[in-house]
């Protein structure tokens, strides 16, 4: 269903959205290098640093599929399976419609479920943290077996690989495993403090730190530059009031687009939980798990309140931890045999009535709406301009300079690779610095400029300024132009303008 909706919205087959298009391009590049030189010879030049897990997924998909660009979108289905499995494992023994209802509830929450339709591992981090917390604190088991510890260790490594630039992730994971040990100590007493258990906990705490270091240390200059830009560049900063920042990620304070119809199910689960607690169905283990998960929720929330950025994807780990807490409440409600069927039935009904399938959109026009014709027209622009660049290029693999555009510009270079097998150098302005822009344009073979109808945001404003400055040059030769929704695209060749005879 997810893939069908993505194809219907043009995500996976026509226009690839930000930031998926960048990951697809990196994956094509990695796949090409590995096929050409072999993995070990190409390893030093592979592009994995920024979002390792997304690029690993994409590269594997390209290698296995022969560079079919839609195949990386199949991989989130594996994590969706793990999410569903963790829900059913945690509600083992409950009436079957309870986990089904909770799965429908989870699917309807964009702040969490968008991981299934995007390659952005920001969202996937929320799903992995949810699985990890459920496995550690909610799944029943007489012993925490070696295999379960290996499973949680693997989840921890994957979580760190989602976004190494989120430098609090290793600390968050260390906190999860420390809380796990404290939970065991609060229940088992001194038996939880034996050397073997302490050594295992120490190993689990160190694992994400070591994985993080293995990615960051060799690429320290890149991460220093990226984090500095993210924290200081006005393009990625959000000037909003503290109150709005504090409320943006919370379920009952955020817009419906972040939490969707899942909030109705939350109310029902909360009612069942309160009744079950009043009827003494909350165990000591539940209280310990609840305290641990609440600490994790606040640990996910605190960095968001001080970050200069705010966006839905940054809140995915918070959404995952909140959902784990809600699932714990449902577990407790399901222990009351008088409540089990009414609450489970109500959950299934409310989740079905409010069900929706949040899918990432390919483009963000003002008003955030588009039609099938827009998708087709934008795709045609990409194909036509790419053919023109290939035909007019003086080299195999030209350099292109672009300003900001609703059509993510990586779509052009992906299409050029698909048509010619050439990888293209590209750059764009991140700040309005005329000298830097001039140097970049002078070193490019082509310039692709977008002109939006009016200034709607800081990206468009920067694009207007860059475009106006670039058009002062006398070495641009127009090759093609096209329009979509009053958005104009003009392709120029850089160099001496030919003299007509």
- Asked whether the CA dihedral 220, 224, 230, 235 is positive or negative, the reply is negative
Rounded average pLDDT over 235-242:
68
pLDDT recorded at residue 500: 46
Sequence-separated (6 or more) residues with CB below 8 Å from residue 372: 10
**DSSP string for residues in 214-275:** HHHGGGHHHHHHHHHHHHH-GGG-----HHHHHHTTSTTTS-HHHHTTHHHHHHHHHHHHHH
Q: Which residue has the tokens 């909770």?
A: 102
DSSP assignment letter at 402: E
Peptide bond into 200 cis (omega under 30): no
Q: Distance between CA 481 and CA 487 in Å, rounded?
A: 11
Rounded average pLDDT over 354-378:
65
pLDDT recorded at residue 252: 67
8 A C-beta contact, residue 3 and residue 48 = no
pLDDT digits (tens, 9 = 90+) for 428-459: 877 778 898 899 999 999 999 988 776 566 67
The separation between the first and the last C-alpha atoms of the chain, rounded to the nearest angstrom, is: 59
Rounded average pLDDT over 73-79:
90
Q: Distance between CA 290 and CA 294 in Å, rounded?
A: 6
Is 377's pLDDT higher than 60? yes
Query: If we measure between CA atoms, which residue out of 236, 235, 227, 238 comes closest to residue 431?
Result: 235
pLDDT digits (tens, 9 = 90+) for 50-70: 889 999 999 999 999 988 888
| Candidate ranges 4-13, 121-130, 182-191, 407-416; pick with highest mean pLDDT | 121-130
As a whole-number percent, the residues of the chain with pLDDT over 90 amount to 35
Is 387's pLDDT higher than 90? yes
Rounded average pLDDT over 207-228:
84
- The H or E element spanning position 478 is strand 476-484
- Name which residue leads in pLDDT, 117 or 421: 421
- Residue 399: pLDDT band with limits 50, 70, 90: very high
Query: 495 in the Ramachandran plot: left (φ > 0), alpha (ψ -120 to 50) or beta?
Result: left
As a whole-number percent, the residues of the chain with pLDDT over 70 amount to 86
Q: Distance between CA 210 and CA 401 in Å, rounded?
A: 38
pTM of the model: 0.89
pLDDT digits (tens, 9 = 90+) for 247-293: 788 876 654 456 766 778 888 999 999 999 988 888 888 999 999 99
8 A C-beta contact, residue 14 and residue 381 = no
- Name which residue leads in pLDDT, 145 or 136: 136
- Number of Cβ within 10 Å of residue 293's Cβ equals 25
Is 365's pLDDT higher than 70? no
Alpha helix (H) residue ranges in 357-480: 372-392, 410-420, 434-442, 458-470
Is 80's pLDDT higher than 90? yes
Q: Distance between CA 402 and CA 394 in Å, rounded?
A: 18
Q: Distance between CA 82 and CA 70 in Å, rounded?
A: 22
Is 344's pLDDT higher than 50? yes
């Amino acid at each position: 269903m997810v893939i069908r909706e993505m194809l219907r919205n043009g995500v996976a087959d026509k226009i690839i959205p930000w930031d998926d298009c960048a990951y697809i391009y990196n994956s094509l590049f990695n796949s090409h290098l590995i096929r050409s030189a072999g993995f070990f010879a190409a390893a030093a030049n592979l592009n994995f640093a920024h979002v390792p897990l997304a690029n690993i997924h994409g590269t594997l998909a390209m290698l296995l599929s022969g560079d079919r660009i839609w195949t990386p979108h199949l991989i989130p289905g594996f994590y969706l399976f793990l999410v569903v499995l963790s829900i059913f494992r945690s509600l083992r023994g409950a009436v079957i419609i309870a986990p089904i209802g909770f799965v429908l509830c989870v699917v309807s929450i964009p702040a969490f479920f968008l991981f299934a339709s995007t390659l952005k591992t920001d969202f996937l981090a929320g799903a992995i943290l949810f699985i990890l917390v459920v496995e550690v604190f909610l799944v029943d088991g007489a012993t925490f077996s070696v295999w379960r510890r290996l499973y949680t260790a693997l989840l921890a490594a994957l979580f760190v690989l989602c976004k190494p630039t989120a430098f609090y992730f290793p600390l968050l994971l260390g906190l999860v495993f420390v809380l796990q040990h404290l939970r065991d100590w609060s229940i088992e007493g001194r038996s939880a403090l034996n050397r073997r258990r302490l050594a295992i906990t120490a190993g689990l705490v160190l694992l994400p730190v070591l994985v993080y270091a293995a990615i960051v240390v060799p690429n320290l200059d890149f991460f220093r530059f990226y984090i500095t830009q993210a924290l200081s560049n006005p393009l990625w900063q959000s000037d909003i009031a503290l109150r709005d920042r504090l409320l943006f990620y919370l379920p009952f304070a955020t817009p419906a687009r972040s939490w969707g119809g899942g909030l109705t199910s939350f109310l029902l689960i909360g009612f069942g939980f309160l009744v079950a607690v009043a009827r003494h169905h909350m165990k000591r283990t539940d209280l310990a798990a609840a305290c641990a998960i609440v600490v994790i929720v606040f640990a996910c929330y605190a960095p968001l309140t001080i970050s200069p950025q705010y966006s839905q994807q940054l809140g995915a780990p918070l959404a995952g931890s909140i959902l784990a807490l809600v699932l714990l409440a449902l577990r407790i409600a399901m222990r009351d045999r008088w409540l089990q069927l009414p609450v489970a039935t109500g959950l299934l009904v409310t989740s079905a009535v409010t069900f929706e399938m949040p899918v990432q959109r390919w483009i963000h026009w003002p008003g955030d709406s588009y039609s099938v014709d827009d998708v087709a027209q934008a795709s045609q622009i990409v194909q036509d301009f790419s053919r023109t660049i290939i035909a007019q290029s003086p080299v195999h693999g030209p350099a292109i300079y672009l300003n900001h555009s609703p059509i993510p510009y990586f779509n052009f270079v992906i299409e050029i690779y698909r048509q010619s097998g050439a990888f293209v150098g590209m750059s764009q302005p991140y700040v309005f610095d005329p000298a830097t822009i001039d140097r970049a344009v002078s070193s490019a073979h082509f310039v692709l400029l977008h002109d939006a109808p009016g200034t709607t945001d800081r990206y468009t404003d920067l694009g207007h300024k860059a475009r106006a400055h670039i058009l002062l040059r006398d070495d641009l030769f127009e090759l093609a132009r096209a329009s979509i929704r009053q958005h104009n695209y003009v392709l120029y060749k850089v160099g001496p303008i030919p003299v007509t005879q």
